């Protein structure tokens, strides 16, 4: 499994902890490499990770900002991305299982222990396992491809 990761200035500390956690669990992590500074802009990070995930089939993304909302909105502008903000384990499960999310947007305001549980849930959950969920994902894909 390969995970592309990025964070704006508010999420950079958590990003380092998440990278260590994932690497300690033998998961390949690629930090997209944009430099952080006090007034950086989350869309720059979101677009770059989203583009990598789209090009690298089977990969996933993790984005971290102050609350996760901005990153998810920006990443969802990239065709082929279904980014979801998750602040609970249930959010992570439903993002992946119900909606086929391929990017997890995290809040730097959530404690590390909970963040690890959210990530673990997202990584082990199967995408669109139920027919009704896959039907809904297919409608999103059709709309995105102007076929709906």
Q: What is the pLDDT along the chain (148 residues), one digit of tens a residue?
A: 999 999 999 999 999 999 999 999 999 999 997 787 787 899 999 999 999 999 999 999 999 999 999 999 999 999 999 999 999 999 999 999 999 999 999 999 999 999 999 999 999 999 877 889 989 999 999 999 898 8
Range of the domain at 49: 2-144
For 20-148, where are the E strands, in sequence order? 28-31, 60-65, 83-85, 103-107
- The model carries a pTM of 0.94
Q: CATH no. for residue 21?
A: 3.40.1400.10
Give the number of domains in the chain.
1
**Does the CA dihedral 12-10-77-125 come out positive or negative?**
positive
Catalytic residues: 65, 98
């Amino acid at each position: 499994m390969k995970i592309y990761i990025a964070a704006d200035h508010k999420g950079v500390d958590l990003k380092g902890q998440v990278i260590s956690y994932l690497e300690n669990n033998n998961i390949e992590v690629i930090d997209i490499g944009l430099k952080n500074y006090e007034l950086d802009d989350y869309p720059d990070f979101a677009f770059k990770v989203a583009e990598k995930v789209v090009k690298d089939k089977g990969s996933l993304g993790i984005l971290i900002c102050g609350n996760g909302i901005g990153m998810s909105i920006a990443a969802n502008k990239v065709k082929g991305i279904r980014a979801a903000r998750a602040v609970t384990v249930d959010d992570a499960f439903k993002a992946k299982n119900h909606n086929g999310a391929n990017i997890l947007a995290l809040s730097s305001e959530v404690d590390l222990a909970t963040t690890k549980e959210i990530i673990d849930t997202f990584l082990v959950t199967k995408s669109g396992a139920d027919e009704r969920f896959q039907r809904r994902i297919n409608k999103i894909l059709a709309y995105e491809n102007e076929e709906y």
